[in-house]
């Protein structure tokens, strides 16, 4: 004989999952909005043709790390760990500098040369916040490297910051 309580418990569990799911989606949507308003993605050695990118060595994503991002990450159900790691460095940012999280994803073998990275100005190795022995610089296809850097720029909502890697450039427009 079946236990009628099992069916009722299953029904309640499914109902609760359906009620909670939209809340978690909303929190992750908030994080996505913040990332879109404070980040930029560009391709190294690639040619953009409509929605496609051809011949790209890799993709570089640069995100301005601030309190707004930290709050969105804390409310997100499944925040990216590499961003959580960078937000933890927020209290150590000196005056006149801004913290940026950088993700490099290789499509072809890619050597990350930090001297070619530009965030407002060309960066120097001493502005790297992630220990070099904890990041990948020699990437094979499909590998990723994540790190945090200080940039000697002050970021304000509404500002435009040139970012790039070597000759490949983009502009980070920080939304208000």
Side-chain-facing half-sphere of 135: CA atoms under 13 Å: 23
Domain ranges of the chain: 27-174
Q: What is the pLDDT of residues 55-114, one digit of tens each?
A: 899 999 999 999 999 999 999 999 999 999 999 999 989 999 999 999 999 999 999 998
Q: Which CATH class is domain 27-174?
A: mainly beta
Q: What is the mean pLDDT of the chain?
A: 84
Whole-number Å distance between alpha carbons of 69 and 37: 10
Confidence of residue 16 (pLDDT cuts 50, 70, 90): very low
Residue the block writes with tokens 């500098």: 97
Residue 138 has pLDDT above 90, yes or no: yes
**CA 32-85-92 angle, 5° bins:** 110
């Amino acid at each position: 004989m079946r236990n009628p309580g099992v069916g009722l418990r299953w029904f309640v569990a499914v109902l609760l999952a359906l009620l909670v799911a939209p809340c978690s989606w909303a929190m992750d949507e908030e994080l996505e909005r913040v990332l879109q308003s404070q980040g930029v993605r560009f391709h190294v050695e690639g040619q953009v043709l409509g929605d496609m990118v051809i011949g790209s060595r890799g993709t570089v994503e640069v995100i301005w790390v601030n309190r707004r991002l930290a709050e969105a990450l804390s409310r997100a159900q499944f925040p990216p760990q590499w961003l959580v790691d960078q937000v933890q460095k927020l209290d150590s940012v000196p005056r006149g500098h801004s913290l940026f999280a950088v993700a490099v994803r290789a499509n072809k073998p890619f050597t990350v040369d930090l001297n070619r990275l530009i965030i407002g100005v060309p960066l120097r190795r001493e502005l790297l916040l992630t220990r070099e022995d904890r990041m990948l610089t020699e990437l094979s296809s499909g590998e990723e490297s994540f790190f945090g850097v200080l940039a000697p720029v002050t970021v304000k909502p509404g500002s435009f910051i040139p970012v790039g890697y070597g000759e490949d450039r983009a502009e980070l427009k920080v939304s208000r």
